[in-house]
Amino acid sequence: MIRVLLVEDDSEVARIIKYYLGEKERYDVVWAKNAEEAVVASHDWFDVILMDVMLPDQSGIELCARLREWHSCPVIFISCLDDSRTIIDALEHGGDDYITKPFDNLVLDARIQANLRRVQMERSDTKIQDQLVCRGFTLDAAAHTVLRGGRTFSLPPTEFRILSYFMQNPYRYFRSSEVYSLIWGRLSYGDNRAVLVHIHNIRKKIEEDTAHPVYLKSVWGKGYMFDPEGKRDSGRQ
């Protein structure tokens, strides 16, 4: 049974989601109507969190950052807001995915399953190698942390998945659409904002200078590439 924490203040939207997921007979959905109820419920474990952005007592984005202190499960935002700034904020504060309302429940189910498959792949990766090491930092696959310069940085699940994939495939180029397909398990259909945000967040944790990255580089016309040696070059960053 897949345990879902649904944080949604609209009772009709929550009822429809609970009904649909309940019909699948593989989901156990716990509904929280606001941030306060979500914090109380989140002391239990969940496989995935569905989070509205606009809650009556606290922004869902702020709540996500708060829940990330003790939850590493996928957080999927569900919101009527479709502007880039909101999506970027949601992903920067620990979100893994973002669905715009109204959405088809089949799409919701597919997004949940895609994120859970990604988590399962992460667990498989940790069995291969507990630590991935390059010249400037170490990725701890068990703890989902980056150790750089004596400091430890936590990685949300999607950031961990992206960074570990790049580190296991050094010197290979991947376009944003390819990264999206590999990590989320589906086509991006041209919307690669999630990839850009997660790459930006990863760079803040592994790079000394995010304006001039030497590990997770972007090269004009080729895509992103991981350089474990951290060599500076003339490629566009």
50-54, 79-83, 100-104, 175-179: which is most confident: 50-54
Specify the pairing of strand 75-79 against strand 97-100.
parallel
Residue 211 tokens, joined: 């304006």
Residue 236 pLDDT > 60: no
Report the DSSP beta bridge partners of residue 151: 148
Left if phi > 0, otherwise alpha if psi is -120 to 50, otherwise beta: which for 117?
alpha
Q: In what order do the strands lie in the sheet with 75-79?
A: 27-32, 2-7, 48-52, 75-79, 97-100
Find the radius of gyration of the CA atoms of the chain: 18
Give the per-residue pLDDT at 186: 60
CATH 3.40.50.2300 fits 2-118, yes or no: yes
Where in the chain are the domains? 2-118, 129-226
Give the per-residue pLDDT at 59: 95
Residue 234 pLDDT > 60: no
pLDDT in tens, 126-141: 444 578 889 899 999 8
pLDDT in tens, 19-66: 999 888 899 999 999 999 999 998 888 999 999 999 999 999 999 988
pLDDT in tens, 144-200: 899 999 999 988 888 888 999 999 999 999 999 888 888 776 655 556 788 888 999
Q: What is the dihedral of CA 104, 29, 111, 45, to 10 degrees?
A: 160
d(CA 45, CA 38): 12
Residue 168 tokens, joined: 């296991």
Q: Which helix (H) or strand (E) holds 131?
A: strand 131-133
User: pTM for this structure?
Assistant: 0.64
Give the per-residue pLDDT at 188: 56
**Residue 223: burial class (beta carbons within 10 Å; 0-12, 13-18, 19+):** middle
**Average pLDDT for 62-71:** 86
2-118 and 129-226, same CATH topology: no
**Average pLDDT for 7-19:** 96
Contact (CB, 8 A) for 204 and 210: yes
Give the per-residue pLDDT at 126: 47
Domain 129-226: give its CATH code: 1.10.10.10
